[in-house]
Amino acid sequence: MGRGMYSGELALKFLPMQAADIDVVIKNERRAYSHPWTEGIFRDCLASGNECWMLKVADRVVGHAILSMGAGESHLLNICVNPEFQGQGFGERLLVHIVERAGVNHCSCVFLEVRASNLTAYKLYERQGFTEIGIRKNYYPGHMGAEDALVLVKELILE
Ligand SMILES: CC(C)(COP(=O)(O)OP(=O)(O)OC[C@H]1O[C@@H](n2cnc3c(N)ncnc32)[C@H](O)[C@@H]1OP(=O)(O)O)[C@@H](O)C(=O)NCCC(=O)NCCS
């Protein structure tokens, strides 16, 4: 398989997350993040009417993404791929899907924060047309003290 967008033969499906999925989603979350979300945060996200999506590959949940929306704008709150499945373009597929959902919901832009040290995610966002617009000092907890967040945005063309 070449680098870049996943283009394999495996059945690839996007499914809306439901409360019953949180157990499996949280396994991926805990493996992928140093500071994973709790079950309660996922429950709140579902209850708040956010766009909460899972990516399934050959019937295995490999990742998830969550987008909040309000006042015609959106915010990517979480995007995560199980480490076993990273580097194969699934993160990019999830990102494209969630940006599409922002468009379907008539949002004019997608904001996100990313850890200053998270180069893989940063490069992915850049490839997908996000640009850096600011920095939030000491935004994330870290093992070596707090870490800055970079704020990125992608403007969407409204139909
Ligand atoms: C960020 C994250 C979602 C990206 O997911 P992913 O599935 O690894 O993303 P992709 O495969 O689309 O792209 C990642 C890298 O793999 C490369 N890649 C993509 N397809 C590839 C393939 N078929 N073969 C080899 N490499 C490939 C990409 O070029 C990219 O390389 P780079 O790091 O040099 O830029 C994932 O790393 C993750 O879950 N990280 C932990 C949670 C996190 O940090 N989330 C973001 C918070 S802001």
pLDDT in tens, 16-46: 999 999 999 999 999 999 999 999 999 999 9
φ/ψ of residue 26, rounded to 5? -70, -25
Does 1 score more than 80 pLDDT?
A: no
Give the residue whose CA is nearest to atom 43 of ligand 1. Answer: 80
From the CB of 86, is ligand 1 less than 6 Å away?
Answer: yes
Q: How many A from CA of 87 to the centre of ligand 1?
A: 4
Sheet holding 60-70, edge to edge: 12-16, 51-57, 60-70, 73-81, 109-115, 147-155, 131-140
* Residues identified as active-site: 113, 125
For the chain, percent of residues with pLDDT exceeding 70: 94
Tracing tokens 């033969």 back to the chain, one arrives at 9
pLDDT digits (tens, 9 = 90+) for 71-105: 999 999 999 999 999 999 999 999 999 999 999 99
Residues facing residue 68 across a β-bridge: 75
Q: How many A from CA of 71 to the centre of ligand 1?
A: 30
3-state secondary structure of 7: coil
Computed on alpha carbons and rounded to an integer, the radius of gyration of the chain in Å comes to 15
From the CB of 118, is ligand 1 less than 6 Å away?
Answer: yes
From the CB of 128, is ligand 1 less than 6 Å away?
Answer: no
Domains of the chain, CATH where assigned: 12-155 (3.40.630.30)
**Prediction pTM value:** 0.93
- Specify the pairing of strand 73-81 against strand 131-140: unpaired
From the CB of 131, is ligand 1 less than 6 Å away?
Answer: no
Q: How many A from CA of 46 to the centre of ligand 1?
A: 25
